[in-house]
Structure 1
Amino acid sequence: MSDSNRVVVIGGGVIGAASAYHLAKAGRAVTVVDRAGFGAGCSHANCGYVCPSHVLPLAAPGALWATLKTMFARNSPVKVRPGVVLRDLGWFLNFARRCKRSHMMAAGVAIRGLLVSSRGLYDDLIRDEHLECEWQTKGLLFVFRSHHAMDHYAETDRLLRDEFETPARRLDGAALAALEPALRPGLAGGWRYEGDAHLKPDRLMAEFRRVLTGLGVEIREHCPVAGLIRRGDRAAGVITIGGEIPAADVVFATGACTPQLRAELGCRVPIQPGKGYSITFPRPAGGPVNPMIFEEDRVAVTPFHDNLRVGSTMEFAGYDDRLNRDRLAYLTDTAAAYLKVMPTGPADDEWWGWRPMTPDGLPIIGRTPALANVWLAAGHNMLGLSMAPATGKLIAELVTGTKPHLDPTPYAPTRF
């Protein structure tokens, strides 16, 4: 295909891969470039949830005070460094303004659209492209230690059931133990979202590479972008350390690093890196069979065929690229408090990644205000894997001028 039909997708994570897939299926020539390896960022070792249950944004009533308290807590699932707040005060003030029910509900509607669309698109993608990525439709179990927290969550369940058509099944003590014998006795219970699913992220990205290559997509790794070739209000191509790539359209799927590309984008992108962690072990005998979130402690556990992954936490520490072993210890100590059996040998993988957090909890999807053929697909908060197929489809629709399957207005870059 000619360069007049080429789209350059900057970013080889799950959002970039899904965008490249749908663009290629729409008949466009596609080149994916990434400054590191394809699938090496937040798409590598997250917990793998595809979760329509995660409708509500982080910015919710009470979230501000809970977040502020973490500055002084020795160990908590969310950590905020005071220096980061001072340096990026505008982001945190914007977040604070969003911690109202009206904002939460509006964001929830837009989040749900992407989640529900992606859940169906994953079924199609896995069937049509024969993806081998450990796809499992076992739902997602929210587990509670205390009866107070268990009963309090009933209010959230009622909200999700009545306003977002996302009900859970309540499992009190004995029912929870019957469903998941790997849990310690004495837990209060759980809530199970049966429409959720999970997969192994690194396997998904390997399969995406296979499918994209088969569609003729060019993938350039270890190829940092130095800028755009500009002609008036359009980009004529992308400048990389490996040379120039002509392009009819450019898509930035650059996750938490997007604010560092402000000069190229010509607009402000309010994304804050929220550092998440995971640790992956060989799967132990007697370990859990269901993916679970220990909601009071915000720790997640995902069983894969050969591994057990423990992940989550949120650390607002700027672009700190160090692995904080205290956060890994928090994950394993918390999991051990819930599970009868924990792995005893060395870990297969210890990992961290920057989640692209926006103050309103919504991703940024759409045309940049400064350049007519440059598009953003970033800021998916903690739900990049869950939202990727719908985001990729929406980007392809916007780029090709096809009627979008979702209203793109709530995700527009111009909302900031």
Structure 2
Amino acid sequence: MPTDYTISELQNWNDQVEILIKKNKLDCYEQQFELCSYEDMLCYEAYVGMPSHYPHWSFGKTYERQKTFYSYNLTGLPYEMVINSDPCLAYLMQDNTLLLQVLTIAHVYGHNDFFKNNRLFKQNTRAELTVEMFKSHAGRVRDYIADPSIGPKKVERILDAAHALRFQVRRTGEGKLPNRTELAQETSDEVPERLKCDLLSYLSERGKLTYWEKDLINIVREETFYFLPQMETKIMNEGWASYWHYLLLNQMKLEQGLHFEFLQRHNMVIRPFEGSINPYFIGFKIFEYLDRTVGREKIFEIRAQERDQSFLRRYLNRQLCEELFLFNYKVRGVDIIVSEVADEEGWKAIRDELANSVGLGMVPEINPQGVENGVLILEHVYDGRELEINYAKETIKYIADLWGGKVDLKTKLNNRDKVIRCTDDKIVSVWDL
């Protein structure tokens, strides 16, 4: 535990932040904080922040990887971690300095406001049930593992497949559940409208699976809908939280020493990365520009309505592209070639490229097309970007596992129509259509 502050002092600073939160009209859930060690933070990071989560080897792998990187100073740990729940739960690192705790507390309230008010979070999650949902899922998975007729190996097999396909769900959130009449009218070979963009649900309903295997898939699917809004608003969410911690701490009129550390820490958070995009930097700069040009009321509206793709397409203009020194590049062999710069026309290509690469924009969309002679037919929604063939070959094996038979995936490679085929024996080949 650091010696430069006490719990009561931290509570006093939090009270000051809460006064400013209300003054600035941020609308937050009740906020709860928990101080934790770096070991605990590693665990929370590996288990995506949840106080309870089902066991799976991938979480342990993440923990060991992060622990090794941290031990050799190859990476740092997050100053905080926030859960989209009601009350909103956040973890603070005990090793943070007093100023860093105050900054992260203000940052957390920015996330809290975003969780409560952005439409994607409202549509896809019920914050008041978040923690209980994860606890329920953890209990069910552990029950299956403990069941002598099932056991850990069978559970792991299904979870591995479901994790590999977890983002192959309806991208606009849960659809309307069919009634009994609608279900009775659906045929076994045709794909109903409600499942055409939801491969994971299709496999759960139509695959050769037992009740507990279907339940495991639905657990992964339900948790995916919790994480989708966070994926789809990474730039906005981090930019909003960064902008508000910056405004709030400036309004607090810190003493000189604390203010100097605040500027150092803030600049570390929003600094641009070499060769990649820092979402804190991009989001902060756009919200800063919009607050200055369109006003506070408008940025609250933007915070409520947009996701990263629409946010970038509508508000990343030429002036911002130039100020942020954004450019597109291509890799040719060992050479890196700049393909677009933020000039009169190039900035639009930069904006569009960035918008296409955020959230689910980087996840290929694979949809079920029907069944022919027992073979599941899938189609890759081709948008000019090809599948990474080795990854696709491994992933189709998981699909075959859940389907319980042969699978054909239609796609394009080198501008030619192809089918990636997986047999009952998990032998994968690529054929011309």
- TM-score strictly above 0.5: no
Structure whose CA Rg is larger: 2
Instruction: Judging by fraction of residues, say which structure has more strand.
Output: 1
Instruction: Judging by fraction of residues, say which structure has more helix.
Output: 2
What TM-score does the superposition give when structure 1 sets the normalisation length?
0.25
What TM-score does the superposition give when structure 2 sets the normalisation length?
0.24
Q: Which has the higher contact order (CA 8 A, sep 6+)?
A: 1
